[in-house]
Amino acid sequence: MEDSSAAIHPDKTQMATVGANMRNIGKVSSFSKVSDYVYRVDAQNANIALSFVSDDIVRIKIFFTSEFDLKTTAGVLPQRTAPTQLNVNETEESIIIRTATMQVVMAKENFTLEVQDLEGGKFYSQNNVIWDNRGAVTAFNSMDSEAHFYGLGEKTSFLDKRGERYEMWNSDIFAPHVPEIEALYESIPFLLHYNRGNVYGLFLDNPGKTTFDMRTHADMYTVKADTGSMDYYIINGPQLKDVVKRYTDLTGRMSIPPKWSIGYHQSRYSYMSQEEVMDLARTFREKNIPCDVIYLDIHYMDEYRVFTFDKTRFPNPQQMMKDLREMGIRIVPIVDPGVKQDPRYPIYQEGIANDYFCKKIEGDLFIGPVWPGQSAFPDFTEDEVGRWWADKHRFYTDMGIQGVWNDMNEPAVFVESKTMDLDVVHRNNGDMKTHEELHNLYGMLMSKATYEGLREQLAGDRPFVLTRAGYSGVQRYAAVWTGDNRSFWEHMAMAMPMCLNLGLSGIPFTGPDIGGFAHHTTADLLTRWTQMGVFFPYCRNHSVLDSVRQEPWSFGPEVETVLREYIGLRYKLMPLLYNLFYEASQTGMPVMRPLLLEYPHDKNVFNLSDQFLFGSDMLIAPIIRPDTDHRSVYLPEGVWYDYWTGEKFTGGKHILAYAPMHVMPIYVKAGSVIPEQSLQQYADQPTDGVLRLNVYGVGAEASYRHELYEDDGRTFAYEQGAYNLVRLNMEEGAAEAAISYEYAHKGYESEHRTWLVRFKFAAFQPTAVEGLEQLSVSQIGAADAGWAFDEAAGELLVKFAPNAAGGTLRIRG
Q: Which residues bind ligand GLC (CB under 6 A)?
A: 269, 297-298, 334, 407, 468, 483-484, 517, 542
| H/E element, 53 | strand 47-54
DSSP SS3 for 646? coil
Distance CA 598, CA 617 (A): 9
Q: How far apart are the first and last CA of the chain?
A: 77
H or E stretch at 447: helix 442-457
CA 509 – CA 758 distance, rounded (Å): 30
Asked if residue 539 lies in contact with residue 569, where contact means CB atoms within 8 angstroms, the answer is: no
Cα 387 → chain centroid = 26
DSSP, collapsed to helix, strand or coil, labels residue 86 as coil
> What 3-state DSSP class applies to 47?
strand
Whole-angstrom distance, CA of residue 703 vs CA of residue 402: 42
Catalytic, 484? Answer: yes
Q: Are 73 and 88 in contact (CB under 8 A)?
A: no
Classify residue 763 by its DSSP letter. Answer: S
Rounded to whole angstroms, the Cα distance separating 764 from 757 reads 16
Omega into 238 within 30° of 0, i.e. cis? yes
Residue among 517 and 718 whose Cβ is closer to ligand GLC = 517
Q: Which residue is nearest to ligand GLC (CB)?
A: 269
Residue ranges in 485-608 assigned as alpha helix (H): 489-504, 523-533, 557-572, 574-587, 595-598
Q: How far apart are CA 117 and CA 504, in angstroms?
A: 23
* Angle 678-683-685 from CA coordinates, rounded to 5°: 70
Q: Of 56, 231, 407, 513, which is the active-site residue?
A: 407
CB of 482 to ligand GLC, least distance (A): 10
Q: Which of the following is catalytic: 56, 297, 484, 710? A: 484
Cβ(619)–Cβ(666) below 8 Å:
yes
Starting at the edge strand that comes first in sequence, how are the strands of the sheet with 666-669 ordered?
592-593, 612-614, 618-620, 666-669, 639-642, 648-650
Q: Is the dihedral of CA 770, 775, 779, 783 positive or negative?
A: negative
C-alpha dihedral over 266, 267, 271, 273, to 10 degrees?
60
Cβ atoms of 450 and 389 closer than 8 Å: yes
* 407 given a catalytic annotation: yes
Of the residues 55, 226, 410, 676, only one is catalytic, namely 410
Alpha carbon distance 366, 420 (integer Å): 8
Instruction: Kindly write down the DSSP assignment for every residue of 108-119, as one continuous string.
Output: TTTTEEEEEETT
Cis upstream peptide for 10 (omega within 30°): no
**Rounded Cα distance, 98 and 747, in Å:** 43
Beta strands in 697-790 (DSSP E): 702-711, 723-732, 736-746, 754-760, 768-769, 786-790
Task: Return all residues near 513 (Cβ < 8 A) that are at least 6 apart.
Answer: 267, 481, 482, 484, 485, 540, 541, 542, 543
Q: Give the residue from 405, 391, 383, 411 showing the smallest Cα distance to 346.
A: 391
Q: Look at the chain and count its residues.
A: 813
10 Å CB burial of residue 332 (0-12, 13-18, 19+) is buried
Determine the residue type at 264. Y
Residue 185 vs 380, nearer CB to ligand GLC: 185
3-state secondary structure string across 132-161: CCCCCEEEEEECCCCEEEEECCCCCCCCCC
Q: Strand, helix or coil at 596?
A: helix
Q: What is the DSSP-derived secondary structure letter of residue 56?
A: T
User: What does the alpha-carbon distance between residue 122 and residue 103 come to, in Å, rounded to a whole number?
Assistant: 9
DSSP 598: H
Looking at the annotation, which residues are catalytic? 407, 410, 484
